[in-house]
Amino acid sequence: MNTPSESNGESRIAQWEKAAAKSAPGGRLEDLNWRTPDGITVKPLYTGEDVQGLPHADTLPGFPPYVRGPQATMYAVRPWTIRQYAGFSTAQESNAFYRQALAAGGQGVSVAFDLATHRGYDSDHPRVTGDVGKAGVAIDSVEDMKILFDQIPLDKVSVSMTMNGAVLPVLAGYIVAAQEQGVKLEQLSGTIQNDILKEFMVRNTYIYPPEPSMRIIGDIIAYTAEHMPKFNSISISGYHMQEAGANQALELAFTLADGKEYVKTAMSKGLDVDAFAGRLSFFWAIGMNFYLEIAKMRAARLLWCQIMQGFGAKNPKSWMLRTHCQTSGWSLTEQDPYNNIVRTTVEAMAAVFGGTQSLHTNSFDEAIALPTEFSARIARNTQLIIQEETHITKVIDPWAGSYMMEKLTQDMADEAWKIIQEVEAMGGMTKAVDSGWAKLKIEAAAADKQARIDSGQDVIVGVNKYKLATEDVVQTRDIDNVKVREAQIEQLLAIKAKRDTTKVKAALAALTQAAQDQTGNLLALSVEAIRLRATVGEVSDALEMVFGRHRADTQKVTGVYAAAYDEGSTDGDSMAYWDQLKADIASFAQDQGRRPRVMIAKLGQDGHDRGAKVVATAFADLGFDVDMGPLFQTPEECARQAIENDVHAVGVSTLAAGHKTLVPEIIKALKAQGAEEIIVFVGGVIPRQDYDFLYSAGVKGIYGPGTPIPVSARGVLTHIQQALASH
């Protein structure tokens, strides 16, 4: 066996460098380095020299700064909690799913609410006709919440609720449902997300502006600190940032900066930091960047310990970062979807090696529709197999001591800290969010990533390489939105008929007064209103009277998508396609006297706008005139704006399963307003079995996940030309 040895005055590393350079492209060893989207250089080989002097390299699990995990024994004694994030249709159907999942090995309940609930609307509100029960469970009152947790003992089963906008009535509904189940507040365990700053950046299920939203967070932290000692009052979430396009360093930095802001808010209420910090938790996305995801989680614990000590926290529990993780939904592909089982497994392994406290694994069909029981079982069993069959849990932090991982952990911490310092210089995360700066940073990263995929620089198996000639249709779950909404409205009418209306009005008036006067605790007052059978919408409206409803600016980045092509693609065909398309758009402008004009729209309460923003950026870089419709439009409002802006086409981005209701409505509205020449195209999460329905409704083009944007742009240009020729 030939191994390098100290000879001829050369070190073993120098000898390796010479040998490796011979195999490297152009004979240059640096060409083997990988420059990550985060700006971190990852070398092909690490040695002991790379970890010399690293302050965390010789630490132990369960001890500050907790790089190796918050608990001394980690999974060797207690594996992570297996969760399944789910919710659809009615409370009855979701309850049946939860009970089945718990019986099959699930260890906690994670609730997904529909978009109407998120945005504080009851199911009978005219703005949510296409959203009720589609992308989560519809909750209008405590009666729905009681059904949701029927036969699930809330003193034993922890509950995680992804809720930020309507956080007061939803958390109040959970509290009242538990009490009416006979459970005491101090017995409740679980987490409410309650992370509104992230909503203003990416997910957009906010209701009120930033300042009153921060007051709500402070009131929830104060109430739970006093009454619910086992309940996590906030889950500071990077998940939706990465899903919206953030790289790992941005996700890490912005999430910890959000955490700092929430700690400041709670302390401004007069709370001692050690009274609540131990109940803060975090939530990370885990994507396909395997090494960086592990390093991100280790770096997060390192930095959070440092941040909390800076706040003067004395209790070691206040220094610990505890986290839930979820595998990426964005990495899932519509094309060749069974590949998603492999992707989710790899991501789950990264979460486990990173030291998560609980984990949700996505189902392979979630790029197409809501998961079926079949796909959900595979997702759940992925975790069970890792826990029960691999013996990974026998070793605490197996990556410790890896030259590469220890250096990458420090590099990730350093990169994130630079961004955190930038945020601090702006006056904190609330100001960074309010200015739009943070959102634009994420959108630029999203556009860059999509361009790298479309140009062939980043490989997605089954999408831009190793593609199937034909795709099999995958069976999907379909929700009858009309039926669910009718059932919810019937339940609402029944509740309002039985309750004491005078007492409900008084409780709602007390909420409005407390909001106006800056007095009282808004969660405590919401609990009393919900107990009297006030609805989610009524509680939200009572606060909106004072706080107002937030309206976001629709900015878009420019030039980022085109830069990936300008810098040179690894795929010559993609580059030629791009150049020819730009030339054809320029010719259109010359012939027509103006550029092709499109409006990119989000209809209903679906605030997931990554796809819409990336498409808008790319179309603009190609030469289209692009208008962005505001979030949460009705089809009628969208049609009116399209006509006023004199567009050739409207592109509807849909990720919340409302396409069968909302898309035909906009086509109908355009015709009713005498503008049938404006074509409609659709992109997003749409099952293939729904394509014919949409085409028969008048849609001209459907572009599902994985469609290269230049291909969709070519299709839209062709349809515009055909429409002009026929009119």
CA-to-CA distance for 638 and 334, rounded, in angstroms?
Answer: 27
Sorted by sequence, the CB contacts under 8 Å of residue 1 that are 6+ apart come out as: none
Is residue 403 annotated as a catalytic residue, yes or no?
no
Pairing of strands 41-42, 323-327: unpaired
Q: Which residue has the tokens 């998940």?
A: 239
Beta bridge partners of 465: 461
CA-to-CA distance for 116 and 127, rounded, in angstroms?
Answer: 9
DSSP secondary structure, 68-108, as one string: T-SSSSGGGTSPPEEEEEE--B-HHHHHHHHHHHHHTT--E
Strand segments (E) across 289-386: 323-327, 358-360
Is residue 584 annotated as a catalytic residue, yes or no?
no
Q: Which of 118, 134, 240, 660 is catalytic?
A: 240
Encoding tokens for residue 545? 């009277």
- Quick one: residue 271, left, alpha or beta (phi over 0 = left, psi -120 to 50 = alpha)? beta
CA-to-CA distance for 75 and 129, rounded, in angstroms?
Answer: 45
CA-to-CA distance for 69 and 301, rounded, in angstroms?
Answer: 8
Q: Which of 66, 75, 206, 239 is catalytic?
A: 239
CA-to-CA distance for 645 and 652, rounded, in angstroms?
Answer: 16
Q: What letter would DSSP give residue 203?
A: I
User: Which H or E element spans position 600?
Assistant: strand 597-601
Q: Which of 85, 174, 208, 262 is catalytic?
A: 85
Is residue 85 annotated as a catalytic residue, yes or no?
yes
State the burial class of residue 531 (Cβ atoms within 10 Å of its Cβ: 0-12, 13-18, 19+). Answer: middle
**Interior angle at CA 230, CA 356 and CA 105, nearest 5:** 50
CA-to-CA distance for 691 and 682, rounded, in angstroms?
Answer: 10
Q: Which of 608, 648, 660, 700 is catalytic?
A: 608
CA-to-CA distance for 64 and 67, rounded, in angstroms?
Answer: 8
Q: What letter would DSSP give residue 199?
A: I
- Other residues' Cβ atoms within 10 Å of the Cβ of residue 365: 25
DSSP secondary structure, 324-338, as one string: EEEE-STT--SSSTT
- Other residues' Cβ atoms within 10 Å of the Cβ of residue 341: 16
* Helical H segments across 455-571, by residue range: 481-498, 501-517, 522-531, 536-547, 560-566
Q: Which of 260, 602, 648, 700 is catalytic?
A: 602
> With b meaning 16 or more CB within 10 Å and e meaning fewer, what string describes 174-189?
bbbbbbeeebebebbb
Counting every residue written for the chain, the total comes to: 727
Q: Contact 346/289 with Cβ under 8 angstroms?
A: no
Q: Contact 317/71 with Cβ under 8 angstroms?
A: no
Is residue 314 annotated as a catalytic residue, yes or no?
no
Encoding tokens for residue 266? 């709670």
Q: List residues with catalytic annotation.
A: 85, 239-240, 602, 606, 608
